[in-house]
Structure 1
Amino acid sequence: MRRVVATGTFDILHPGHLWYLSESAHLGTELWVIVARDENVKHKPRPIIPEEQRVIMVGALKGVFKAVLGDQHDMFRPIEEIKPDIITLGFNQHFQESRLRDSLSERGLKTEIIRISEYAGTPFTSSRRIAEEIRRRAVSDNCSC
């Protein structure tokens, strides 16, 4: 058995998320997904979809063995519990692979880290861009031009 962990916010599900999770699932026999807690998302706007809904949606996706919420205080706690062989990172996740490897090693975890490439099949591969487009269209549709 090869256990893979993917992590992310997964706010508004889009083809980029499906690509990331599908590519991650192909690397092992079990794909676990750690979904970021609302309060831990600090590098981008707060998620629109509540964490409880995001973890249910991600858990329902084909190829996902189990989806769990991240720990509120220690991002490595779920990883210690899951004990993955591989952790995948999305192309735009801000982790520095060498620092992540060092942090995992300090906790006695020997986990391979693989960065998944960007999905380029559609312009809507970012929850932020989707939200911006919704706002843009709402403004233009309400325009009295």
Structure 2
Amino acid sequence: MTERAEPTRVVAQGTFDLLHPGHVQYLREAATFGDELHVIVARCSNITHKDPPIVPGHQRREVVDAIDAVDEAHLGHESDIFVPIERIDPAVIVLGYDQHHDEADVAASLEERGIDCRVERAGPREQQHQDELLSTGRIIDRILERRG
């Protein structure tokens, strides 16, 4: 009997507030790096580099989990962002093209924790239509413009 190789697990992560085509592009591209795509949806308590999300974490996780490219979506850990990464044990972490993380810093943090995986960066989605909104911030700005 031949042994079956473990699937290549890939992790993508982000806030995923007010999901838009840029998010879908990122997750579809991340899925091409392996056999299983696990997505870690950031908890509000871990988002310190921008305004907190509008949508609650459990709802953002549920919507991300519904995307065809995603095998499983997880809520991040309340205090240690590396806990779900350790549990998932990915071969690759794919960062979004505009995420604030530096690939070398992420790789160094993974190495410090004994997590053996490479770090990649996804490319941007090209705007398909002149009025397409590929940023949660721009979506919020448009809502405030029109309804605020």
| TM-score, structure 1 normalization | 0.93
> Is 1:133 matched with 2:139?
no
Deviations 1:70-107 (A, max 9, x none): 01111111000000000000011111111111110011
Give the partner amino acid of 1:87. Answer: I
Deviation at 1:136, TM superposition (A): 0.7
**How far, CA to CA, are the matches of 1:44 and 1:135 in structure 2?**
18
Deviation at 1:57, TM superposition (A): 0.5
Q: Match for residue 106 of structure 1?
A: 112
**How far, CA to CA, are the matches of 1:134 and 1:68 in structure 2?**
28
In angstroms, what is the RMSD of aligned CA positions? 1.0
- List runs of 5+ in structure 1 lacking aligned partners: 140-145
**How far, CA to CA, are the matches of 1:128 and 1:121 in structure 2?**
16
Give the partner amino acid of 1:5. Answer: V
Deviation at 1:42, TM superposition (A): 1.2
Give the partner amino acid of 1:68. Answer: H
Deviation at 1:24, TM superposition (A): 0.5
Q: Tell me, what secondary structure is at the counterpart of 1:34? A: strand
Runs of 4+ in 1 over 2 A off after TM superposition: none
Aligned length: 139
**How far, CA to CA, are the matches of 1:11 and 1:106 in structure 2?**
30
Q: Match for residue 38 of structure 1?
A: 44
Q: Match for residue 92 of structure 1?
A: 98
Q: Tell me, what secondary structure is at the counterpart of 1:88? A: strand
**How far, CA to CA, are the matches of 1:42 and 1:129 in structure 2?**
19
Percent identity over the alignment? Answer: 45
> Is 1:7 matched with 2:13?
yes
| TM-score, structure 2 normalization | 0.91
